[in-house]
Every structure is written in structure tokens, then in C-alpha cells.
Structure 1
Amino acid sequence: MSARDNILRRLRQREDGPLQAPKSDFGVMTGRGWSQEERLARFERLITSVHGEVQHVSRENWTQSLIELLKTKSIRRLALGKTHPIAQEARQALATADITLVDVDRPIEDWQREQFENVDAGLTSTGGAIAETGSLWLWPTEDEPRLLSLVPPVHIAVLEANRIEDTFYELMVNLGWSKNMPTNALLISGPSKTADIEQTLAYGVHGPKELIVLVKN
């Protein structure tokens, strides 16, 4: 019997009975009671306070706003997925535009140099957002790998306005993460930032210099 098995056996055979989960009060993490308009306003205020950019776009014509954004930012090479509806709509809208669409469903070893040196921006969907902290949450997949939002100098994220939760706790409860927790969820609160020992904050050192959130209303 291994040491691990011995430890587990001793835990199961406790003299005072099996272990019980302690009672927990999560009230401090919930109960904000914000309306949808208040959640959106708070999210926007917090994420722009750390150099994130928010653009409100039409649900029906958001891709036109994307095209205009790419022109304004002089983005010529855009990395994006293929199967997600956001990626499919973007690809259709950009089919005739003077933009090179970079496929990301490849082993990173095959295009690592291209990704780090030649991609201007990455476009991703989002699972939603958290009003309390001004954070986006992403659930990376093979179609939209995590490096798509962490490497290109500009990250463009598309957010549904009605998918903003009050708190992270309520996000986990409402989505049933206790039963189906994502293995690689990302929380993004603005562009990449870091600080040195003198507490001087710098942006874009280890990742995107810009985060642009297209909020579909």
C-alpha cells in the first residue's frame, strides 16, 4: 500500500466520523442587486479606469463597427477562430476587406514566431463579464486558444451587454461551475500591466498594450 493510500485510509477511518464540510456564509460575495444598466455602467467605469476601451455597438451591425475599428487602429493582420459565431460573423464581414485573417487552430509550434511577431490583433468572444471588478471572463477552446487574448498587441473582445453578472461568486453559481468548472477560464481586467519595486505601473509589458471591448447592445 502506498503512502497516499495510507493517508486516505486514515482519513476515511477517523474515530470521530467522516469529515463534514464547514458551513459557509457567502453573503459578503453576493446580494448587490444591481440592474442591467447599473452592471454595464459599473463594468465600463472600472475597466476604462485601467486603460481598457469600451465601444458600444449594434447587435445587428457590430461587424461594421469592427471594420471601422480595424481601419482606425491600422490593424492589417487579425487572428481569430473559425467555429464560434462571433468569429464566423467577423470572417464573413471581413471577406472582402483588406485585412489578412490569421487562423489560430494550429499547434503553437507551427506558428509561434508568426503569432509573436506578425499578428496585429486578436479577436475573441467572451463568456460574459463581472460588474464588481470590471472584468471579462473567457473560456478558451481549441477554436479560441488562450494565447489569442494574451499575445497580440491589441485584444478585441466582443461582449453581450446582457451577460454581465454582479459578482464572481454569482457568475460561478449561475453557470454551475461546481458541476462543470472550466479548466482554463481567463479573467481579464484591462490590458497587460505590471509594476516595478517603486510601484510605477506600466502597460503592455507582458501582453496586449490595448484591450478594446465591443459591447453588443
Structure 2
Amino acid sequence: MSARDTILARLRRSLEGTTPIADPFDATLVDEPWRYTPAERITRLKALMSAVHSEVLLTNSREWPQLLTDILAARQINTLLLAPHTVHGQAFSAHCQTTANPVQLLAYDRPIEEWKRELFDDVPASFTGTLAGIAATGTLIVQPSSAEPRLMSLVPPLHIALLNASQIYDNLYQAQQHWPKPMPSNLLLISGPSKTADIEQVLAYGAHGPKDLIVLIVEDA
């Protein structure tokens, strides 16, 4: 028996004959005060995120690819990092082909060591999906994956996120009930672009991540 097994066996024996203490957690304390109608969820999330320098736009499943095209054109962005094998990545790639959109689509398909300088210096914008949204705090939940690594939403100066209105939950507790099982090893909670006031208490955006955040909320069409 290894030292680890010996320690665990002692811990288990120490619990013999004991009675577990009842869990005092009361879900109503973190749930009931923060409940909204479907329309209120969108309104509240938009208001809270807009208040912290984010841009939130409402769209639908048919129109969001053109809206994304218009956003890139207005900002004169001709390169976009996305995940081409996701549903939203495939939809926008197909839209670009159909409309002869000249934007260059990049994929995060190499180890970071092979293109770190390019990612940090030359990629102006990224486009990712989201796992959910939280109305109570105006927050996006992003789940990094092999298709959409964490750096996609943390490095480019502009992060554009696609959020389904049906996946906006009232509060964090409710959102947790819909997280994938088993529990993901990494989730990002994003409430706005990167900002800091470390230097002379002057608020600056983009110091530790994207300077701008645009959220496209896809309502049921």
C-alpha cells in the first residue's frame, strides 16, 4: 500500500461511526431575489454590460452573420479569428463565401508556441460562442475548448461574442444548474472589456485583455 493509500485509509476510518452534518445551504437566498422574465433578462444584461463599456446588439439567427460583417466593415477590420468547425463558425464562413466577404478568417489550429507573436501582435479581433449569460450581474459565461481556446477571448483587442437569448439565466445559481457534466475544468465569467485603474487610479481599457467587447444576442426568430 502506497503512502497515499495509507493516508486515505486512515481518513476513512476516522469517519466511522460519525453522522454527516446537514448542509445548511438555502438556494432561495441566492435565487429568489434575482429572478426576471425572459424579456427582463435581455434588458438587464444589456444595461449592465453597456454600463461597463460593452456594446450589446440584438439580432436573430438569420441576420447575425450580416450584422457581424457590418461590424467588421465599420471598424475596418479585415482579419477575424474564429473556430471554423463550430456551428457559429461554419455559419459565418458560409456567409462570407456567399457574399464574397473579403475578411480573412483565421483558425486557432496550431500550438500557441508556433504563432504567439502573430496572435498577440497581428490579430485585431476574435469571434467566439458563449455557454450562457447571467442577467443579475450582466455576465457572459464562456467555456474554453480545443476549438476555442481561452486565449481567443483574452488576447485580440476586440472580442465579439455570440449569445443565445434562451441561454440567459436569472442568476449564477440557475446558470450552474445547466453547466455541462462533469464540471468543466475552466469557465470564463466576462462582464466587460479588460480594464484596470492600477496606475494613479486612472481607468484604462485593454491593459490585460480586449479593449472592446461586442455581444450579439440572438433572439428566437
Structure 1 and Structure 2 fold alike (TM over 0.5): yes
- Structure 2 residue aligned with 1:137, among 136, 141, 150? 141
**Letter aligned with residue 27 of structure 2:** F
In terms of mean alpha carbon deviation, does 191-200 or 47-56 score higher? 191-200
Q: Name 1:187's counterpart in structure 2.
A: 189
Aligned-partner Cα distance in 2 for 1:33–1:15: 40
* Deviation of the 1:195 alpha carbon: 2.2
For residues 123-162 of structure 1, what are the alpha-carbon distances to aligned partners after superposition, in whole Å with 9 as ceiling and x for unaligned? Answer: 0011110011111011111111111110000000011111
Number of residue pairs aligned between Structure 1 and Structure 2: 215
**Letter aligned with residue 167 of structure 1:** N
Aligned-partner Cα distance in 2 for 1:65–1:118: 23
User: Is the Cα–Cα contact under 8 Å of residues 12 and 18 in structure 1 kept in the other structure?
Assistant: no
Aligned-partner Cα distance in 2 for 1:169–1:161: 18
Residue 127, structure 1, aligned to residue 128, structure 2: no
In terms of mean alpha carbon deviation, does 198-207 or 138-147 score higher? 198-207
Aligned-partner Cα distance in 1 for 2:90–2:19: 50
Q: Name 1:111's counterpart in structure 2.
A: 115
* Deviation of the 1:22 alpha carbon: 4.0
**Letter aligned with residue 91 of structure 2:** E
Give TM-score scaled by structure 2 length.
0.90
**Unaligned regions of 5+ residues in structure 2, if any?**
none
Q: Name 1:162's counterpart in structure 2.
A: 166
Aligned-partner Cα distance in 2 for 1:90–1:9: 55
CA RMSD of aligned residues (A): 1.8
Structure 1: 4+ residue segments shifted above 4 A:
none
In terms of mean alpha carbon deviation, does 148-157 or 185-194 score higher? 185-194
User: Is the Cα–Cα contact under 8 Å of residues 134 and 169 in structure 2 kept in the other structure?
Assistant: yes
For residues 67-86 of structure 1, what are the alpha-carbon distances to aligned partners after superposition, in whole Å with 9 as ceiling and x for unaligned? Answer: 11001111111000011110
Give TM-score scaled by structure 1 length.
0.92
- Structure 1 residue aligned with 2:177, among 163, 173, 178? 173
Q: Name 1:7's counterpart in structure 2.
A: 7
Equivalent position SS for 1:13? helix
**Unaligned regions of 5+ residues in structure 1, if any?**
none
**Letter aligned with residue 20 of structure 2:** Q
Equivalent position SS for 2:161? strand
User: Is the Cα–Cα contact under 8 Å of residues 35 and 171 in structure 2 kept in the other structure?
Assistant: no
**Letter aligned with residue 14 of structure 2:** R
Aligned-partner Cα distance in 1 for 2:88–2:210: 20
